[in-house]
Amino acid sequence: MATQNWKERAAAKKRQQQESIPKEWVLTNLPDKSQLDVSEFPRTCGLLTGREIEITESYVDVILDNLAKGSWTAVEVTTAFSKRAIVAHQLVNCLTEIFIERALARAGELDDHFRRTGSVVGPLHGLPVSLKDQICIKGIESTMGYVAWIGKPVTKNAVLTDILESLGAVLYVKTNVPQTLMFPETYNHIFGRTLNPFNRSLTSGGSSGGEGALIGLKGSPLGVGSDIGGSVRIPSAFNALYGLRPSFHRIPYAGCVNSLDGQISIYSVLGPMTTSMNGIKAFMKSVLSKEPWQYDPLCVRKRWNEDEYRLLDYNGGKQLCFAVLWDDNVTMPHPPVLRGLEMTKQALLRAGHKVIDWKPLYHPELYEFVPKIWGAVGDADYEVATKLSGEPIIRKMALVEGNLDTPVEDTIHRFPPLNLTAFEYWQINVTHRELRQAYLDHWRETAAVTGTGRPADAIISPAAPYVAPPHGGNWNAQYTTVWNTLDYPACVVPVGARVDPILDVKKPRDSFYGDGDRRNWDSYDPETFKNAPITVQVVGRTLEEEALVGISEIVDQALQTYKSKL
């Protein structure tokens, strides 16, 4: 039965999704497909009231403050974001599960509580939070885009779901992912492809691409993605968001569905994606306040440390020394990415910080290590899920004749299947540890050149060697994956600029690091990437989320001050 009907099962699920959208929110005035930048459409489409536009364009701190004061109700905030999420979905196809009725009922209970007691149930009281499809909510499906997983509502909340609800969050939508999760773009056979709201000919990134596009359109104030090689940071970068990849085991992952389950060399982690640094902090601080290690056996027993956030170990945040990774000597970033790094450097210098160059160490070796992990078991993991329904394994995200709905059929494995023995696999783990050791030593030894007495306080890195590329063109996740491999927390911060054909001209290059570098440079043309957001990545050391949030706020503030004075 399985093989013949996977397309029908996928189509039926997609119809079911369409039916879960409130009828009155189905728009008839959608922009034509040829309109690439749809980022302003939600505020002009007519579905949202002025107040709803105000609510959905507020940062997390303002939303929480208004809810806690009783100025806004949870129902009206939930309604506003639900409407905008549905508008976003019609523009860029970013959602999987939609359960607004349930969300409004929950919001009503929160409002009742507030009216009855005059107080909030927790620090996220009434805040709508969107979740990547793999984060389980009892009674709702987590297909992860696999046809075989349709029709199986999960029976138990993920630990993070329980925690978010206990903090007062309102869950209302889940968001799209690529089949297998192991792509930095977002397409699967059930829900199709998610587009970039700033230029729909570009990818929203992945694997948390549904979150990226949704929050990019302000259809959610705060979402949760997962990141094993950049899956929080790439869509954050491509959609002008703030996105944090925490260290392994800081945020509870227990109870989520996943790919490559049992692979424990490079763990996937959950992290927040949002429109401000205060959203990142609110998520981290409030989730950790619930002591997730009581519920997830892998979680690190470490409370949010306010002293670390206030940078007591980093001169109180004054006169820091940043190290800029301009180029990994493998793939030179495109001009807009380099401009973002330069803007950040200038902003930090003006704010009184020091900036040095970061020398990449063993990046080729780290890049070589990663596909050995992803390819260690060949297709074995993906086959478990796909064979049940007969759907093929998607191996490429490129378009066929511009058709967004059909991936190129391809037999080439993205990660060469190694089918390793356990002993061979262990030897890769040894290399991994040696590389982590060398990189940590390298970082510590920068104390000799910073002039602060400390090692570099953070690395400023590209999030990718390009801004959001055309669909099928996101071939290189090395600028994010390298930090997963080292287990360094990393936060994407928008520089507040978009690709500008005048500023971001292509310059000729005489020599290249290799074929990939040449191909990447060849692919650059400012028109192709027009309007794509520019961001940087701020990188800290393992398990210093608090300090990284504090330092990223400094970077963000420096950039805002710098731009305001240009």
Catalytic residues: 132, 207, 231
Least separation in angstroms between CB 263 and a second copy? 6
Closest approach of Cβ 322 to a second copy, in Å?
Answer: 19
What is the separation, in whole angstroms, between the first and last Cα of the chain?
64
To the question of whether residue 229 is assigned a binding role by annotation, the answer is yes
From the list 132-140, 215-223, 523-531, 539-547, the region that binds a second copy by CB under 8 A is 539-547
> Binding of a second copy at residue 294 (CB under 8 A)?
yes
Report, in Å, the least distance between residue 101 CB and a second copy: 31
Say how far apart CA 525 and CA 334 lie, in whole Å: 9
Smallest separation, CB 48 to a second copy (Å) = 42
Helices (H), 451-544: 478-486, 515-522
Judged by CB under 8 A, the residue of 24, 34, 401, 423 near a second copy is 423
Q: How far apart are CA 30 and CA 472, in angstroms?
A: 25
Quickly tell me which residue has 């879960």 as its tokens.
20
When binding is defined by CB under 8 A, the residue of 139, 297, 451, 501 that contacts a second copy is 297
Closest approach of a second copy to the CB of residue 247, in Å: 8
Query: How far is Cα 260 from Cα 389, in angstroms, rounded to an integer?
Result: 18
Nearer to a second copy, 156 or 563 (CB): 156
For position 300 contacting a second copy by CB under 8 A, the verdict is: yes
Work out how close the CB of 444 gets to a second copy at its nearest, in angstroms, rounded to a whole number: 6
Q: Which of 31, 61, 59 is nearest to 46 (CA)?
A: 31
* Rounded distance between C-alpha atoms, residue 237 and residue 400, angstroms: 26
Specify whether the CB–CB gap between 487 and 542 falls below 8 A. yes
Q: Is 522 among the residues that bind a second copy (CB under 8 A)? A: no
Residue among 440, 449, 450, 523 that touches a second copy (CB under 8 A): 440
Q: Is 119 annotated as a binding residue?
A: no
* Residue number, 265 or 537, with CB nearest to a second copy: 265
Q: What is the 8-class DSSP label of residue 203?
A: B
- Per rule CB under 8 A, is residue 265 in the interface with a second copy? yes
Within residues 366-385, the interface with a second copy by CB under 8 A covers 376-378, 380-381
Whose CA is closest to 180, among 153, 204, 159, 149? 149
Q: Which is nearer to a second copy, 416 or 426 (CB)?
A: 426
Near a second copy by CB under 8 A, which window of 25-33, 67-75, 298-306, 458-466?
A: 298-306
141 or 296: CB nearest a second copy: 296
User: Is 145 in a helix, a strand, or coil?
Assistant: coil
d(CA 315, CA 531): 38
Q: Are 343 and 497 in contact (CB under 8 A)?
A: yes
Known binding residue 247? Answer is: no
Exactly one of 69, 301, 507, 565 binds a second copy (CB under 8 A); that residue is 301
Dist CA 420 CA 373 (whole Å): 10
296 binds a second copy (CB under 8 A): yes
DSSP 3-state assignment of 131?
strand
* 429 lies in the binding site for a second copy (CB under 8 A): yes
Beta bridge partners of 227: 269
Q: Does 156 bind a second copy (CB under 8 A)?
A: no
231 labeled part of a ligand binding site: yes
Report helix, strand or coil for 107: helix
Q: What is the DSSP letter of 322?
A: E
Is 181 annotated in a binding site? The answer is: yes
Nearest to 269 by CA among 488, 60, 468: 488
Contact between 425 and a second copy by CB under 8 A: the answer reads yes
Alpha helices in 186-296 (DSSP H): 209-216, 233-238, 277-289
Return the residue of 14, 20, 36, 295 that touches a second copy, per CB under 8 A.
295
In this chain, which of 11, 26, 264, 400 binds a second copy, going by CB under 8 A? 264
- The site that binds a second copy (CB under 8 A) totals a number of residues, namely 47
Q: How far is the CB of 421 from a second copy (least distance, A)?
A: 6
CA-CA-CA-CA torsion for 39, 43, 45, 47, nearest 10 degrees?
Answer: 130
**Among the listed residues 420, 449, 512, 528, the single contact to a second copy using CB under 8 A:** 420
Provide the β-strand partners of residue 539: 459, 490
Q: Does residue 388 interact with a second copy by CB under 8 A?
A: no
Residue among 419, 426, 331 at smallest CA distance from 374: 419
We find the least distance from the C-beta atom of residue 542 to a second copy, in angstroms, to be 6
Residue with tokens 């004061």: 69
> Is 270 annotated to bind ligand?
no
Q: Is 329 in the site for a second copy (CB under 8 A)?
A: no
Question: Given the structure tokens 């890195």, which residue do they identify?
Answer: 461
Instruction: Please list every residue from 390 through 419 that binds a second copy, using CB under 8 A.
Output: 418-419
Task: Name which of 282 and 376 has its Cβ closer to a second copy.
Answer: 376
- Rounded least distance, CB 297 to a second copy, Å: 4
468-497 binders of a second copy (CB under 8 A):
486-487
227 sits near a second copy (criterion: CB under 8 A): no
Distances (CA, A) of 360 to 41, 327, 339, 365, 522: 42, 8, 19, 11, 24
Choosing from 263, 289, 452, 523, the residue that interacts with a second copy (CB under 8 A) is 263
Region for 222 from its dihedrals, namely left if φ exceeds 0, alpha if ψ lies in -120 to 50, beta otherwise: beta
The DSSP result for 236-273, as a single string, is: HHHTT-EEEEPPTTSS--TT---SSTT--SS--EEEEE
3-class secondary structure, 407? strand
- DSSP reduced 3-state for 34: coil
Known binding-site residue numbers = 181, 207, 228-231
Known binding-site residue numbers for substrate = 181, 207, 228-231
Residues in touch with a second copy (CB under 8 A): 254, 260-265, 293-298, 300-302, 376-378, 380-381, 418-430, 433, 436-437, 439-441, 444, 486-487, 541-544
